[in-house]
Amino acid sequence: MSVSMIDSAIFRDFFGTEDMRSIFSDKGVLGSYCRVEGALAIVQGRLGLIPQEAADAIAAAAKYENLDLDAIREQTQIVGYPILPLVRAIGKACPDRLGEFTHWGATTQDIMDSGLALQLKAAFDIIQAELDKLAASLAKLAVKHRDSVMAGRTHLQHALPVTFGYKAGVWLSAVDRHRERLVQLRPRVELGQFAGAAGTLASLGDDGLAVSDALMVELGLVRPSMPWHVARDGVAEAVNFLGLVSGTLSKIATDIMLLMATETGEAFEPFVPGRGGSSTMPQKRNPISCELILGAGKVIRQHSVVVMDAMAADFERATGPWHAEWIAVPEAFVLSAGVLAQANFMIAGLQVQPERMRRNLDMTGGLIVSEAVMMGLAPALGRNTAHDVVYDACMMANEQGLSLLEALKKSPEIAGKLPDAELESLCDPVNYLGQAREMLDRFLVERE
C-alpha cells in the first residue's frame, strides 16, 4: 500500500520514472549497502587484513537476494539503522563462520554513505542523460523557429517583438549551464566514505587509509580528502542542483502554460487523444506536463531547504539531521527524474503556432513597436520629446481604435519628420527584432 505520489500505482509515472525509483527502492538501497560490504571484504582480503577465504565468502554472500526483507525491517525497528541486521544476514549466508569478518573496521555510516554515493552516481547518470536529451530538443526547436516572430512580453503585457527561436535559446542556455554544473559537481558529490566510528580509522591501526583508498577504487567512487560523516555539503549540493534544474523547468513550464491559454494559443503540449481532457468540458486541453512540472518542482525545492538544514550536524555524528536526508534525497531525485521526463516529452513534441503568434503580434495595431518609432523620431525631435509624442499617439490609437501608424500620421508633431515609407517600416514588428536572431546564431555556433 502506497501513501506517496512517487510510488503510487496510479500516479507514480506522473512524478517519477521506473529507472530512478529502482535506484532508491529498498532493493536499490540495500543492494548498494551489500555492494559496499562486499567490496570492503575484497580489498581487505587483498591487503591481507582478513583471510582470503573469508573475503571470497563475504563477497559472494553480500547480495540482496540473500536478505530477508522482513527480518531486516523488524531488526531495523529495534536497532534504528539497517546495517547491523544487514551484516548479520551476510554473515549468516557465509559458511564456517567466515562471515565473522564482515564489516571489519567499518561503522554504520561508512556503509550507508558509500551506498548513497553509489546511488547518487547512478542517479546522476540518468539526470545527465535526460538533460542532454532536453538540450538537443531545445536546440532543434530554436533552429526551426529562428524566424518565427512573436510578441515578447514583460509583466504579462506586449513589450517588443522577439522570435520563438530566441525564447527557446534562452531556455537552452539555462539547461546548458545545468549540464556544465553537473559535470563540475559530480567529483564533489560522488565521494565514498570509510573512516570508522569517529572518523579516525582507529580500529584498523596503520592500515586504515590503505583500506579506505583501495575501497574507493574498488567502488569507483572519489576518495574524500577527509571524512564527511558530518560534513554534508556534497549531499546538499546534489539536491540543491536538482532544485536549480527544477526551477528552470518550472520557468519553461510557466511559459508554455501561458502560451497554451485560449486567449494566446501560440504553443501547445503534444497532442494525445484524451490527454488534458475534462470530466465535464469536452473542449478542454489542459497543460498536463506543465502542471506536473510546476507541482513537483515546488517539492524538489523544499527538499533543497531540508538538506541545507541537515548540514547543521553535531560533533562527529549527527543526532537527527542525517535522518532528514533519508527522506529528502530519494524523493528529490525521483521527482527530478519525473519532471525531466515530462519536460522531454513536452519539448520534443511541442506544437508551435507561428500564424497565431503573428496574429497576436498584430492585435495592438503596431503599438508593440512604439519604441522603434520613438527611436526613429529621436534624431529629429530629441529622445524625450519623441517619447512624449509617440506616447500621445499610442493613447490616441487606444481611444479611437486606430493602428499606431494611423495615429502617427494624424500627429502634427510628426508630420514631415519621416517619409511615409520609413514610418511604415518602423511600424512593422518584423523590422524590430534587434539582434535576437544573430544572438541565437552565435550561441548555437559556440555550443557546437
Residue 284 is predicted with a pLDDT of 63
C-alpha span between 15 and 41 (Å, rounded): 38
Say if residue 112 is in the same domain as residue 128.
yes
C-alpha span between 55 and 42 (Å, rounded): 5
C-alpha span between 251 and 170 (Å, rounded): 11
Q: How many CA atoms lie within 13 A of 156 on its CB side?
A: 6
Phi and psi, residue 151, nearest 5°? -80, 125
Say if residue 379 is in the same domain as residue 427.
yes
pLDDT tens-digit map of 428-443:
999 999 999 999 999 9
Q: Are 220 and 254 in contact (CB under 8 A)?
A: no
Residue 281: is its pLDDT beyond 80? no
b/e map 431-444, b = 16+ CB within 10 Å: ebbeebbeebbebb
Residue type, 311: M
Residue numbers of the domain that contains 418:
359-446
Give the model's confidence band at 380: pLDDT under 50 very low, under 70 low, under 90 confident, else very high. confident
Domain's final residue, options 324, 352, 380: 352
pTM for the predicted model, two decimal places: 0.93
Residue 2 is predicted with a pLDDT of 78
Say if residue 195 is in the same domain as residue 299.
yes
Residue 4 is predicted with a pLDDT of 85
Q: Are 193 and 208 in contact (CB under 8 A)?
A: no
Count of the separate structural domains present in the chain: 2
pLDDT tens-digit map of 352-375:
999 999 999 999 998 999 999 899
Q: Is residue 7 part of a domain?
A: no
Say if residue 370 is in the same domain as residue 313.
no
pLDDT tens-digit map of 155-192:
999 999 999 999 999 999 999 999 999 999 999 999 99
Say if residue 256 is in the same domain as residue 291.
yes
Q: Is residue 111 part of a domain?
A: yes
Say if residue 321 is in the same domain as residue 398.
no
C-alpha span between 375 and 331 (Å, rounded): 52
Please, where are the H alpha helices in 310-435? Answer: 321-348, 354-361, 370-381, 383-400, 404-410, 420-426
Q: Is residue 156 part of a domain?
A: no
Say if residue 174 is in the same domain as residue 284.
yes
Least confident of 35-39, 125-129, 270-274, 427-431: 270-274
Say if residue 345 is in the same domain as residue 378.
no
Q: Is residue 98 part of a domain?
A: yes
Residue 12 is predicted with a pLDDT of 87
Grid coordinates representing 50? 582478513
**Pairing status of strand 157-163 against strand 267-268:** unpaired
Residue 280: is its pLDDT beyond 80? no
Say if residue 381 is in the same domain as residue 329.
no
Residue range 321-329: average pLDDT?
A: 96
Q: What SS3 state is found at 101?
A: helix
Give the model's confidence band at 448: pLDDT under 50 very low, under 70 low, under 90 confident, else very high. confident
Residue 294: is its pLDDT beyond 70? yes
Phi and psi, residue 267, nearest 5°? -160, 150
Grid coordinates representing 241? 542542483
Vertex 104 angle, CA 99 and 109, to 5°: 115
Residue 240: is its pLDDT beyond 70? yes
pLDDT, the chain, mean:
94
Domain's final residue, options 352, 371, 394: 352
Residue type, 262: T
Q: Is residue 4 part of a domain?
A: no
Q: Which residues are catalytic?
A: 155, 278
Say if residue 340 is in the same domain as residue 368.
no
Q: Are 402 and 365 in contact (CB under 8 A)?
A: yes
Least confident of 1-5, 13-17, 186-190, 286-290: 1-5
pLDDT tens-digit map of 29-58:
999 999 999 999 999 999 999 999 999 999
C-alpha span between 395 and 208 (Å, rounded): 79
Say if residue 124 is in the same domain as residue 194.
yes
CATH number (domain holding residue 212): 1.20.200.10
C-alpha span between 224 and 212 (Å, rounded): 9
Domain's final residue, options 305, 326, 352: 352
Residue range 118-137: average pLDDT?
A: 98
C-alpha span between 37 and 32 (Å, rounded): 9
Say if residue 200 is in the same domain as residue 266.
yes
Q: Is residue 225 part of a domain?
A: yes
Residue 277 is predicted with a pLDDT of 63
Q: Is residue 3 part of a domain?
A: no
Residue 279 is predicted with a pLDDT of 61
pLDDT tens-digit map of 50-107:
999 999 999 999 999 999 999 999 999 999 999 999 999 999 999 999 999 999 999 9
Three-state secondary structure of 145-199: CCCCEEEEEECCEEEEEEEHHHHHHHHHHHHHHHHHHHHHHHHHHCECCCCCCCC
Residue 244: Cβ within 10 Å count: 16
Q: What is the largest CA-CA distance in the chain?
A: 105
Q: Is residue 154 part of a domain?
A: no
Residue 253 is predicted with a pLDDT of 98
CATH number (domain holding residue 405): 1.10.40.30
